[in-house]
Structure 1
Amino acid sequence: MTTDILSGILIPFAGTSLGAACVFVMRRNSMNRIVQKALTGFAAGVMVAASIWSLLIPAMNQSAELGKLAFLPAAVGFWLGILFLLFLDHIIPHLHMGAETAEGLHTQLKRTTMLVLAVTLHNIPEGMAVGVVYAGYRMGNGDITAMGAFALALGIAIQNLPEGAIISMPLRSEGMSKGKAFICGVLSGIVEPIGALLTVAAAGFIVPVLPYLLSFAAGAMIYVVVEELIPEMSEGAHSNVGTLLFAAGFTVMMMLDVALG
């Protein structure tokens, strides 16, 4: 595995870790609700744009030989990704920010543990997305360039910065020490490089079904956005800040993908 692939895979994880480190520099133990909405909206915008430009469009381009049915692998993979995250959502015990009732299988896990699991759950498709794109690049797929893969990794890293803070700060407000809150924030993102590395290692098996896997990752990310991030950025008193930052995140990721891809 080349250095550029390895460093690209680790970029999103670095974003999560830097975001989690905010717990050491912010004076308050909890994050302002408006700021949290803004950061969640930004992350959602990045994920939607990445799903379209970095995953769904390349998936359809790689199926061009199917003619008018070029959408078929993308549509099938997209729905498989949606259903996969729906399945995980029902079996993994987790607690969304601001919620009182946990989702998934009933368990006696601590509240803080389930908060971490909620973020870990939606980091899974991000790791898959980076891994699938770098696997395609590793095997010489002409539709995936080094800069295009880097653009996706950088975009996810940017949206992971606020995500790291969003998990570590609430854990601090739950009474956890700064060190433990930071470690939990970092661990919530560890599934990304692990999943990406495993995907790249299996690149030879992945390339024949790459359009399906690209769109699978897109479906999984869209599920997270609609099921979790949009409700979080919209709950409580009416505010347009989440919507505006969603547009900002979407624009940033779109520009990165087009400019670098």
Structure 2
Amino acid sequence: MELLAILFIPLLGTSLGAGCVYFMKGKMNDNLQKALLGFAGGVMVAASVWSLLIPAMDMSKDMDKLSFIPAVTGLLLGVLFLLLLDNIIPHLHVNDDEPEGPKTTLKKSAMLMLAVTLHNIPEGMAVGVLFAGYTAGNTAITFSAALTLAIGIAIQNFPEGAIISMPLRNEGFSKNKSFLYGVLSGVVEPIGAILTILAASLVEPMLPYLLSFAAGAMIYVVVEELIPEASRGEHSNIGVIGFSVGFAIMMVLDVALG
């Protein structure tokens, strides 16, 4: 029961961020949005390296100089997986007018939510696979490391929740509906975590590949979506500062607590 509750920590971060719709008025400031997007990207990249790729290589030490193979293979497969989802699921990024993926009659609000949901999938997988490794008794993964990743993802989910709920509110949705959609965009994370735990428990030798797979998927999201949006227009250095702060905080959390 305790484990199940921890898997919902990232969703709590999304929900708190979506709650910003109740006390923030008007459109979110562009510079604040750039900083938050950069921050989220920094957290995800740091988590990919310290929480996922390094443990994946540590688990493969018996392969000596070839211990990088599971990490590289999983990372590239994760990138390809998100590339596939990006092309088969219709979605709309923040500040964009042209949707991506196949043509659809879905409303702008639905496609905006799908975009956030799409990149929440690898975050849920990342938390799930770490907890799967811990519950399986893998010595390369500690409970504190898994908990730290869940907390780190929750921190970067806070701005994401606000970034989804605020535009919906500006489109004319009620505060309650905007909040609900913001929360729903993060529901995929605990679901993905639980499914990954179930899958990993069946194929424990695949843990290094699953860890790096989640890392590759997260890095895809950062490079394809978060960095371009944080660098758009003027004052792109604000996004860089946000990225650096997010990276530093996640790195400190992972090293100090993991």
User: Displacement of 1:207 after TM fit?
Assistant: 1.6
* Counterpart check, 1:47 vs 2:41: no
Equivalent residue letter for 2:143: A
Match for 2:247 among 231, 246, 250? Answer: 250
Give the number of aligned pairs: 258
Identify the residue that residue 21 of structure 1 maps to in structure 2. 19
1:203-218 alignment, distance < 5 Å: 203-218=200-215
Structure 1 residues 89-128: aligned runs within 5 Å? 89-128=86-125
User: What secondary structure sits across from 1:189 in the alignment?
Assistant: coil
Are the equivalent residues in 2 in contact too, given 1:84–1:220 (CA < 8 A)? Answer: yes
User: CA separation in 1, counterparts of 2:204 and 2:26?
Assistant: 46
Report the 3-state secondary structure (helix = DSSP H, G, I; strand = E; otherwise coil) of the residue aligned with 1:21.
Answer: helix
- 1:125-164 equivalences in 2 (<5 Å): 125-164=122-161
TM-score (norm 2): 0.98
Which residue in the other structure is 1:38 paired with?
Answer: 35
The percent of aligned pairs where both chains have the same amino acid is 66
Give the deviation of 1:6 after TM superposition. 1.3
Mapped partners of 1:202, 1:84: distance in 2: 17
1:223-254 deviations in Å (ceiling 9; x for gaps):
00000000000001133111011000000000
1:190-229 aligned at under 5 Å gives the runs 190-229=187-226
- Segments of 5+ residues of structure 1 without an aligned counterpart are none
Alpha-carbon RMSD across the aligned residues, in angstroms, is: 0.8
Q: Is the 8 A contact 2:200 2:207 kept in 1?
A: no
| Corresponding residue SS for 2:8 | helix
Name the counterpart of 2:10: 12
* C-alpha distance in 2 between matches for 1:161 and 1:206: 33
Q: Structure 2: any 5+ residue segments left out of the alignment?
A: none
* Per-residue Cα deviation, 1:60-88 (whole angstroms, up to 9, x for no partner): 00000000000000000000000000000
Structure 2 Cα separation of the partners of residues 204 and 154 of structure 1: 23
